[in-house]
Amino acid sequence: LCPTAAARKLEISMPPEVEVEVGGTARIECNFYIPENASYTYIDWFYVDRSNKQVRLYHITANGILQDDTDYKKRLSLGEDKALSISEVTLQDPRTFVCQVGAGSYGVGESSTELSVYKVPTTPEIEPNSGGISVHSSEIPEIARCVSKNSFPPPNITWHKNGEQLHAWENQVTMPSTLTRESSGLYTVSSALYAPVTREDRHSRYHCTVHYWLRGQRRALDSQPVQVNIFYPAENLKLKVMPSSTLVKEGDNVTLVCEADGNPQPVFSFFKKNLDEWQDLTSLAEPDSGVLRLHDVNKTNNGTYRCQSLDLDDLSQIEEDVDLVVNYIEGVHVKMEPSSTLREGDSVTLSCDAYSPVGLKYQWRDDKGKKLVEGNQLFLKNLTFEKSNTFSCKVMAPSVPGLEQSKKVSVAVEGKPRIVAISSPLYVRQDEVVNLTCKAIAFPPPTVQWSINGTAHEYVDNQHIASNLTVRVSHDLLRAGAMCRVSNSLGVSEERIQLVVDQKSTAESQGVIIVAIIVAILVVAVLGAVIYFLHKKGKIPCGRAGKQDITKPEARKDKIVVEVKSDKLSEEAGLLQGANGEKRAAADQ
C-alpha cells in the first residue's frame, strides 16, 4: 500500500472480491499503512456468518499467532505477509472475510473481501430428434435437447441455427429450460428447442451454448453441431439408363435407375409401354431401391419405360419416362457369285450384307484372322486347293463400340487329286522296316490306295490327305517299287516310289571286313617274328618230354614265357629249322 503524502492515519486496503474455483485455494491479502512506520499492535481475521456476526479466525500479535477453533481451522493458513489462505474451497465458503488491524495511538482500522466460488460447467451435450421430423407435422416438433452439468453459479442455455442465435417467436419457436441443483450443490441445466422445419432445413446445423460468469466476464461453451433428419415429399424425379441408352447394344446388361429428391425415398414402380398399354415391371425391380435390371438385352427390350413414385406421407405421385434403344445387328448373310460348283482356276465374288438401325461397316478376313479387304465384297480369282477356302465377314457398328457380328463361309474348289509330296527315291537296306509317304490334295475328299501290302495310316487336314505305309524291304519291293494311287469322282493321280539300296552303307560294311583281315594277318606275322627272335637267342629249349617249362624261377616279369605242347614238337621244330637253314635232331636238343 503506497499512502499519499497527506495520509496521516491508519489505512487498510483489500480486494473487493476474490474468485476461486471449487476445490481450489483462495488467498485474501490485507495491506495496511501505519504512519511513521509504526508497528501494528495486532491483526485479526474474521468471517461474517449467516447472522451477520463476525467470527474470528486468527489473532496475530508481536508475541505470536492465535488460531481460533472454527470450521475453517483445518483449511486455513497465513502467509508471511499475513495474507489469509483457504484451501479446498467448497460451495459453502462464499462469504465476507474481514481484516482488522490495531495500531495503538493510530487507532483501529478494518476492511473486507467477498469470496466468490465458481465451477465451470461441462461442455453441453446435444441430442437431435432421433425419429426425424416431417415438414407436414401438425404440431411444433422438438428439434433437439441440450444438457450441461456441474456448474456454479447457475448457467443458462441459448440455441443457434446455422451459427445464428434463435429467439422465441409467437409460439412457433420455444426453448424451455430446466435448472436442477444437485446434491453436491452444483447445477445442471437442460433445454429443448421446438421449431417448425422446412425442406431447406435438411442442410441446417443446430447447436446449443451454455453461458456462465467467471471473474466478472461472461463465458460460453458450445456443443457439437448436429443435423436433423427432415422428412419431405419429392418434388423432382429422374429416370436414367446405365450405361447411356445411346450406347446400349444387344447382349448388354442394362440398369434403369429411378431417383427422387424426397426423404425418405418414395415407393417406386416400373412400367413398359406395349402399344397402348403399360406393362407392370415392378416385380422385376429390386425392392425399395428404385433399380430395375435388364439382363442380356435384345431388340425386344426396345421401348418406353416409366418410373412412378408414391410419397406415403402426402400420397403425392410423380412420373418420369425414358426411351431405351438397344442397338443390334441381324440377318448377316453371304452371297456367292457364281453359285455353281467352282473348279481350280475359277473366280468368285463374295458379298456380305446385314441389317441394323445404325450404320454398318464390313471387313473380310481369312481363316487365320488376317484382314483381306474393307467393304462388303471380296473378289477371289485363280482358285486353287492350296489357297484358303474359309473366309469371315465381320460386320461392325462404328457408332456403338463393341457391336459386331461375324459370318464364316467356305469356298469349295473341286478338282481331281494332285499328289503334292511323295517319299521317292527312298534309300533303304535289305530287310529294313521303312515308312512310305504319299500326300495329295483334292475335293471331293479322295481315297488313297497302295500297290503293296503294309500297315497304312491316313491323316486329313482340310483338303489335304496324307498316307503313311509301313513295310519291310524285300527283293520284290526293291525291284518293282511301290505305287501310290489317289482318286475321287473327278479323276485319278498316281506316282511310284522307287526304293534304292544304300550303296554307301554296303561299301562301309565291306571295308570293315577287309580291315579285320589285314589286322589278323599282321598279328600272325608279328607272332612269327617273335618266335624266330627267341629261337635265334636260344631262349626256346626243345626236348622229347611230354611238356617242357622253360620259365625260370628268377625270371623277371618282363620276360616272355612260351609253352610248347609235345604233340606239336615236330611241326614247330620244322618251322625253326626252315628259318635257320639247319637240321637238328630232337634228341640232340
Domain count, the chain: 5
Q: How many CA atoms lie within 13 A of 152 on its CB side?
A: 22
User: Both 48 and 143 in a single domain?
Assistant: no
Do residue 363 and residue 454 come from a single domain?
Answer: no
Whether the ω angle into residue 425 lies within 30 degrees of 0, i.e. cis, is yes
Query: Within a domain: residue 392?
Result: yes
Q: Is 422 domain-assigned? A: yes
Supply the CATH number for residue 278's domain. Answer: 2.60.40.10
Claim to verify: residue 447 and residue 478 sit in the same structural domain: yes
Tell me the residue type at 490: L
Domain boundary among 448, 472, 501: 501
Q: Measured between alpha carbons, how far is 167 from 176 in angstroms, rounded to an integer?
A: 11
pTM over 0.85: no
Angle between the N-to-C axes of helices 569-580 and 503-536, in degrees from 0 to 180, rounded to the nearest 10: 80
Contacts with 38 (C-beta within 8 Å, 6 or more apart), sequence order: 103, 104, 106
Q: Do both 454 and 427 map to the same domain?
A: yes
165: DSSP letter? E
State phi, psi for 21 to the nearest 5 degrees.
-80, 145
What pLDDT, on a 0 to 100 scale, did the predictor assign at position 356? 93
pLDDT of residue 23: 92
Instruction: Walk along the chain (589 residues) in steps of 10 and give the mean pLDDT of each run.
Output: 58 94 94 91 95 94 93 93 95 94 92 94 95 90 95 94 93 93 93 95 96 87 96 93 84 94 92 91 89 94 94 88 93 90 88 94 92 93 80 93 92 87 88 92 89 90 87 88 91 91 62 73 84 71 43 37 35 36 37
Same-domain status, 152 and 217: yes
* Domain contains 549: no
Note if the bond before 401 is cis, omega within 30 degrees. no
Q: What is the pLDDT of residue 388?
A: 64
Task: Name the burial class of residue 34, with classes exposed (0-12), middle (13-18) and buried (19+) by CB atoms within 10 angstroms of its CB.
Answer: buried
Domain assignment of residue 520, yes or no? no
Q: Which three cell numbers stand for residue 242?
A: 446405365
In a shared domain, residues 361 and 311:
no
Residue 577 is assigned to a structural domain of this protein: no
**Within a domain: 541:** no
**Across the strands, what pairs with 29?**
none
Does residue 149 share a domain with residue 94? no
The answer to whether residues 136 and 227 belong to one domain is yes
Residues 314 and 370 in one domain: no
Separation in Å, CA 172 to CA 134, 141, 145: 16, 10, 17
Residues 298 and 352 occupy one common structural domain: no
Does 145 share its domain with 105? Answer: no
User: For residue 3, is it within any domain?
Assistant: no
Instruction: Check: CB of residue 127 under 8 Å from CB of residue 207.
Output: no
Residue ending a domain, among 283, 309, 324, is 324
d(CA 238, CA 565): 127
**Helix, coil or strand: residue 300:** helix
> What is the predicted pLDDT for the residue at 308?
94
Residue 349 lies in a domain: yes
d(C-alpha 369, C-alpha 372), whole Å: 9
Q: Could you give the CA distance from residue 11 to residue 33 in angstroms, rounded to a whole number?
A: 5
- Which domain does 371 fall in, by range? 330-411
- Enumerate the H helices of 124-239 as residue ranges: none
Among residues 462, 484, 501, the one where a domain terminates is: 501
**φ/ψ of residue 377, rounded to 5:** -120, 145
pLDDT of residue 95: 94
Task: Return the pLDDT at 507.
Answer: 52
- Answer yes or no: do 17 and 96 share one domain: yes
Identify the pLDDT of residue 549.
Answer: 41
